[in-house]
Amino acid sequence: MGWLWALVLQGYAWSGPLMMLLYPLIASIMAIESPDMRDDRQWLTYWVLCSLALLLEIALAPVIVWIPFYSTIKLVIASWLVLPQFRGGTFLYENFVRPHFNDAAAAATNAQDPQQEWLERSVSPETQASVARFVEKHGSPGFEALMRAALVHPKLNSVDGMKERGLVDENAS
């Protein structure tokens, strides 16, 4: 009877890697090869959630050790995520991960460059319009030359002075 118990324990030990890694690996390869995009999304979602769960598991390892039946619970949850009948991965992604990711992406998109924000607050609209006209007339290289010259010669403030020093092309008008 001892050999039967050893066989059951060995099967249980292998069930996790088979359910969480081998089956998703094979299904992911099949999804890549199929023309249907829904299965691609299912398996990409699974791998994203699997990576997230692995990171959390590593971070919470000292606590997880004390949870009874953790490996069984993990196997059941992984089965729910993996099996196409349940599509648990897609459910979790759509309801929990995606809204937070979209909020973070929108915040990053709406966040302005701090230098640009400072310029907009500190430079008057008239000055911004003057700079825009200067760039239209002399191009970006002319504006860059003006800025370099202003750092070296703070009193240099005219295009004619820049032309005299060779900072702007004579033909630029």
Non-local (6+) Cβ contacts of 108 within 8 A are none
> CB-side exposure of 55: number of CA atoms within 13 Å?
6
- Name residue, tokens 């990576």: 51
> CB-side exposure of 10: number of CA atoms within 13 Å?
6
Tell me, what's the pLDDT at 138?
84
Alpha carbons 50 and 20: distance in angstroms, whole number: 8
Tell me, what's the pLDDT at 173?
46
Secondary structure of residue 30 in the 3-state scheme: helix
Alpha carbons 23 and 42: distance in angstroms, whole number: 13
Task: Walk along the chain (173 residues) and give the pLDDT tens digit of each residue.
Answer: 677 767 666 776 677 777 888 888 898 899 899 888 878 888 888 888 888 888 999 999 999 989 998 888 888 888 888 888 888 888 888 888 788 777 766 666 665 566 666 666 777 777 777 778 888 888 888 878 877 777 776 555 555 665 666 555 555 44
pTM of the entire predicted model: 0.51
